[in-house]
Amino acid sequence: MTKSERIKIKRQLQNSYHEKYTHPKEKTEQIKSVLEDRKYFKILELFAGEGNLSKVYEEYLYTGYGNKGKLYSYDIKTTKEDSFLLFHKFIYQQEKFDIIDIDPFGYPSKFFPDIFMLIDNGFLFLTFCKPNKVYSSSHLGLHLKCYFGNECPRLDNVLTSVKKYSNFHWKDANVMHVLDLPGVWRIAFSVTKVKAVEFSWGKVGDLNGNSK
């Protein structure tokens, strides 16, 4: 089988949301482990696919008296909304979310650093394609180096960069859980809003939230 044929088959499986590339069981277990039994008002799910994780997030919406929780779920194939463009609309509308899930087949690079304008205190779930599992090119290498400091970033490069991008908007993203799946890393971050003086006083934690 030629390289182009292998790529074509992979794309077909991805477009059909095959479990080999979506990993719904593992992602569901991670979400439940991180969120536990708490409830939330606003959840944003980008690249939602066929809605496997949407069903999970619906279980975490606030259903008590008064305002009900709401799930904002989007995918280019199902809702015809481009997630890379849509999140700018939410920034303009000054929306805030308790949970943000970014689950692309490729790289979420273009969401940084401004995705942190949409969350003050909550959780960010991020799917990141392993660079050594895709067919590289000089263009891709340059793209990854610009965002993550390495043409073939390791997991620690990704975690450090996301942490740095959160700081751009006075947020502190700390790693809660990492899934090492075939082809991708699935990372859960806690996100908290911090004051500028907390940075200068060295109170913002390292990747795992420990004070420096």
Query: For residue 68, what are the contacts with CB-CB under 8 A and spacing of at least 6?
Result: 61, 62
Mean pLDDT of the chain: 85
pLDDT value, residue 29: 95
Per-residue pLDDT tens for 29-77?
Answer: 999 999 999 999 999 999 988 788 999 999 999 987 667 899 999 987 7
Counting every residue, how long is the chain?
212
> pLDDT confidence of 79, banded at 50, 70, 90?
confident
Residue 86: its H or E element = helix 83-92
pLDDT value, residue 9: 47
